[in-house]
Structure 1
Amino acid sequence: MAINHLVLSTLAPENWPFSIESLPQPAYLVGGAVRDAILGRTREYLDLDFVLPANAVSVARQIAKQYKAGFVLLDSERQIARVVFADATADFAQQEGISLETDLHRRDFTINAIAYNPHTQEIIDPLQGCADIEKQLLRMVSAKNLEDDPLRLLRAYRQASQLDFTIEPDTQAAIRGLASHINRVAAERVRVELGYMLANSQGSVWLINAGKDGLLTPFFKNATEENLQKLSAVDTAATQLTHFWPQLGEQLQNPVRDTVKTTWLGIAKLACLVNPNPEIAEIELQELTYSRAETKAITTALKLFPQLQAPLMTLREQYFFFQEAGTVFISTAVLSVVHGQSVKAIAPLVNRYLNPNDLVAHPTPLVSGKDIMLALNIPASPVVGKLLTEIAIAQIEGKIYTAAQAIELAAQLINT
């Protein structure tokens, strides 16, 4: 494959957050940054991986100090460190083996075993990774390399989904043969790989393949073939809902929280893989080190989506439903459609959720608990919360409209 050096302009030192003069010679860029540059893929956030023949940690530490960047020692034994800049991350690793070629032969896939010398602008490609990039093929360097770090088994499916590549047949056969080794991988590392595939429809196809090849059942006992197919059903349901409510489609792509990468679409997919019993699902998710926010979202969706399968709820029932669902409603709606409910049947609830002025889905209290305590001269207690609930329901039912009427209703309820 002929390399157009204009394609590699993203790797040019002038785009780095530090000067090339800070690097010793030789030094090599490797891995995803080189692969993506050859593919013409650009990133807003630079993620650079360097291999140095010696002193990798001390070089990283010196660069971090010089540029007042963050420094993280990732592996003291293998001499790997990270420098974190505002708009880039640079990892520095000591070369494994006696030469760069030896190091590249220890990597996972040929497309990630390409090096670039920024000093000479030379591409080093001993395993014909460039040819595999041209063929859009994910090929292992060796089965032993996959066995050495079994996370690479799952990473094959993640990278295939992100790059829109296919997995070379011998590589897929090797993965199937080594699938039992995935048990050796820490749950949090597995969770990160899954996260990439849960976020979009391209990932669903490869998650299903990973499940069929035995990589998911050690973590999700309910990852049966039937439940794996529900991942595609989630994408279909999301497309149907987005057709009528584009705003809902946008929200499905939002992360659960700013600090949590899992999207609301991913929450719906995870709900298809865990035990349908929310209490058992919670234990499974905790073992996989999912956050409290993610676990709560999934278990809430599992608990609530059956309510959307029933006939239209009363206003009172809808009020309690939305109070419990909150933002999880969007994942719950998707699951409802996956399990056979029609889009038309849940349309009234979707419209309520998307309307910020809807009092059923988004109540605007007429009075506060403090208002009730002062007006009725009662202490703080669970009774106050119950009164606020009854006031909110009377408001959405059109029985009261003002704060004075709310206080009057609270007084009546206290005296009955």
Structure 2
Amino acid sequence: MTLSPSEALLTKWLLTYFYQRLPFPQEWLPQKSYWVGGSLRDAYLAWLQGRAAGDPARDGGMESSASVDLDLMCAVDPVGWAAAVARRLGAGFVVLDPERQIARIVLAKLTVDVGLQAGSTPEEDLRQRDFTCNALALDLQREQLLDPTGGQADIRQSRMRMVHPDNLSADPVRLLRGYRQAAQLGFGLDPATQEAIRERAPLLANVAAERVRAEIVALLEAGIPGLAHLQAAVAAGLLQAWLPHLKPESPGFPQAQAVWEWAGRWRPLYPRTLAELAQPLTSSREGRGRLLAVVLAALLWDPAGTEDSVLLTRTAERVETELERLRFSRAEMRAIQKLHHLLPQLQLLLTDSPTPAQQWRLYQQAGSLFGGLALLAVATGGDPQKLESWLKRYEDPQDPLAHLVPLLDGRDLLHSLGAKPGPWVGQLLQDLQEAQAWGQIQTRAEALSFARRWRGQQKD
């Protein structure tokens, strides 16, 4: 097949892009191998961005692609080939799906996934994929771009279009993935695809919770565009089985959007606080950031009836049930519960002139989530000017209220008072810190004197 000059230039650019990233000699590639998947799609987008900038041959896009991992498809024994390459490279090797023969080569800076071609031809494989933008393949031997479903035209139009309705039914997580990828790519779903998703929405109830959670998390991490697409997914009925209380008109959507907006405004003003929120909640490999917990807390917070303790308890139980259903971690659930529990307290303090002890107590209870609590407060209608003084204190690591350094610890108390351990130690430490917050004690000697008086009163 004869290529037009523009097609030839594109193919050459894609081949250069691919081989610059390939972590082994191209001679190691299996016969009849194809570059497929998200990295090819992202490379195509980088090419288009280069053309829009007036230089389609520039290599700037080669360095700015969103995806650096590679996906390969081959016609024969991908698992055996990947294992052999991994041994030669001294790299990690994992079989991801024995049935479909998908394996992964793991290197320090990228992974290479390889899978078996489904069908007798690569075109047959591509026609079984989810969306047309993901149904491209670069034939690495014939140096030809394969596009049997019109994916190039859809990418150029920023359009997320299904390959076929049956492909969505074959793996129902694709119903939600369409919204997630549209958010990440800046695409819009075409009407026929939206209708097909709406008709098949109940199928998502049968998908593993971890897969549904991963798509929801990715949508939330995509910021404001992700929230808009999540709202559209809710309107399509996709999350009825998972988050039944979440509706398109729920206040959680504007609240979650406000969290992202205020995080952007506050980042240059309170860099230390926002950097802390970017840290993961846990040290596990999949630990997600604290800011995600804040966005999720805003999404699930219902301001109706927050002054009613019974309704608050019911809401907390409902949120816990939904998070458990989606297999969120215990750390994430505790963080969201803490944010929901402390929010009414902070909202109340913002309407009054809190004492130093009240401020210290809230800082202490919130801990490293205080910045997130402030974001949740402003997102749910709190006065940003009144929050400013709280944030300035928290931003300063030397602030005596936000980051109070206790004058004594439990060992000091046991040694100085000659007493046995017991529940009294924790209560005394709490009272000592509160007195310190009030400014009633400022030195170690004053703290010891306070402790002796306190202990004497307890004995009486």
* TM bucket normalised to smaller: over 0.9
> Per the alignment, in what secondary structure is the counterpart of residue 71 of structure 2?
strand
Structure 2 residue 331 is the aligned partner of structure 1 residue 293? yes
Of 108, 124, 134 in structure 1, the residue corresponding to residue 146 of structure 2 is 124
Q: Which moved more, 1:352-361 or 1:260-269?
A: 260-269
Cα offset, 1:381, TM superposition: 1.7
Number of residue pairs the alignment of both structures matches: 416
- Is the contact made by 1:220 and 1:274 (CA closer than 8 Å) also made in structure 2? no
**Counterpart in 1 of 2:296?**
270
**Counterpart in 1 of 2:29?**
23
- Residues of 2 paired with 1:130 and 1:45: CA distance? 18
**Counterpart in 2 of 1:181?**
203
Of 56, 62, 74 in structure 2, the residue corresponding to residue 52 of structure 1 is 74
Q: Which moved more, 1:194-203 or 1:142-151?
A: 194-203
Structure 2 residue 142 is the aligned partner of structure 1 residue 142? no
Q: Which moved more, 1:251-260 or 1:90-99?
A: 251-260
Q: Deviations over 1:172-203 (max 9, x none)?
A: 11111111111111111111111222121221
Q: Deviations over 1:339-360 (max 9, x none)?
A: 2211122222222221111122
> Per the alignment, in what secondary structure is the counterpart of residue 61 of structure 1?
helix
Q: Deviations over 1:19-44 (max 9, x none)?
A: 22222111011010110011116348
**Counterpart in 1 of 2:117?**
95
2:328 corresponds to which letter in structure 1?
Y
For normalisation by structure 2, the TM-score amounts to 0.85
> Per the alignment, in what secondary structure is the counterpart of residue 258 of structure 2?
helix
Cα offset, 1:331, TM superposition: 2.1
Q: 1:275 to 1:232 in 2, by over 3 A?
A: closer
- Residues of 2 paired with 1:10 and 1:372: CA distance? 69
- Residues of 2 paired with 1:306 and 1:151: CA distance? 37
- Residues of 2 paired with 1:122 and 1:67: CA distance? 28
1:81 corresponds to which letter in structure 2?
A
| Residues 99-114 of structure 1 aligned to structure 2 (within 5 Å) | 99-114=121-136
2:296 corresponds to which letter in structure 1?
L
**Counterpart in 2 of 1:351?**
392
1:212 corresponds to which letter in structure 2?
A
> Per the alignment, in what secondary structure is the counterpart of residue 4 of structure 1?
helix
Q: 1:101 to 1:257 in 2, by over 3 A?
A: same
**Counterpart in 2 of 1:84?**
106
1:61 corresponds to which letter in structure 2?
A
**Counterpart in 1 of 2:347?**
309
Cα offset, 1:374, TM superposition: 0.6
| Residues 54-73 of structure 1 aligned to structure 2 (within 5 Å) | 54-73=76-95
1:390 corresponds to which letter in structure 2?
D
1:228 corresponds to which letter in structure 2?
F
Q: 1:50 to 1:154 in 2, by over 3 A?
A: same
> Per the alignment, in what secondary structure is the counterpart of residue 145 of structure 2?
strand
Q: Which runs of 4+ in 1 moved over 4 A?
A: 239-244, 246-254
> Per the alignment, in what secondary structure is the counterpart of residue 313 of structure 1?
coil
- Is the contact made by 1:241 and 1:343 (CA closer than 8 Å) also made in structure 2? no
Cα offset, 1:233, TM superposition: 3.4
Q: 1:6 to 1:327 in 2, by over 3 A?
A: farther
Q: Which moved more, 1:123-132 or 1:239-248?
A: 239-248
> Per the alignment, in what secondary structure is the counterpart of residue 81 of structure 1?
strand
- Residues of 2 paired with 1:206 and 1:223: CA distance? 14
Of 351, 375, 383 in structure 2, the residue corresponding to residue 334 of structure 1 is 375
- Residues of 2 paired with 1:61 and 1:340: CA distance? 56
Of 227, 235, 239 in structure 1, the residue corresponding to residue 260 of structure 2 is 235
Structure 2 residue 412 is the aligned partner of structure 1 residue 406? no
- Residues of 2 paired with 1:38 and 1:73: CA distance? 28
Q: Which moved more, 1:137-146 or 1:212-221?
A: 212-221
- Residues of 1 paired with 2:127 and 2:405: CA distance? 63
1:282 corresponds to which letter in structure 2?
E
Cα offset, 1:103, TM superposition: 0.2
Q: Deviations over 1:54-78 (max 9, x none)?
A: 1011111111211121111111111
Cα offset, 1:106, TM superposition: 0.2
> Per the alignment, in what secondary structure is the counterpart of residue 10 of structure 2?
coil
Q: Which moved more, 1:48-57 or 1:275-284?
A: 275-284
Q: 1:18 to 1:243 in 2, by over 3 A?
A: closer
2:253 corresponds to which letter in structure 1?
L
- Residues of 1 paired with 2:300 and 2:270: CA distance? 28
- Is the contact made by 1:10 and 1:37 (CA closer than 8 Å) also made in structure 2? no
- Residues of 1 paired with 2:277 and 2:142: CA distance? 46
- Residues of 1 paired with 2:185 and 2:287: CA distance? 20
- Is the contact made by 1:274 and 1:284 (CA closer than 8 Å) also made in structure 2? no
Q: Which moved more, 1:268-277 or 1:53-62?
A: 268-277
Q: Deviations over 1:265-308 (max 9, x none)?
A: 32222124447633432232122111122111111111111112
Q: Deviations over 1:201-250 (max 9, x none)?
A: 22111111111111223211221222334332333443454475455455
- Residues of 1 paired with 2:172 and 2:411: CA distance? 58
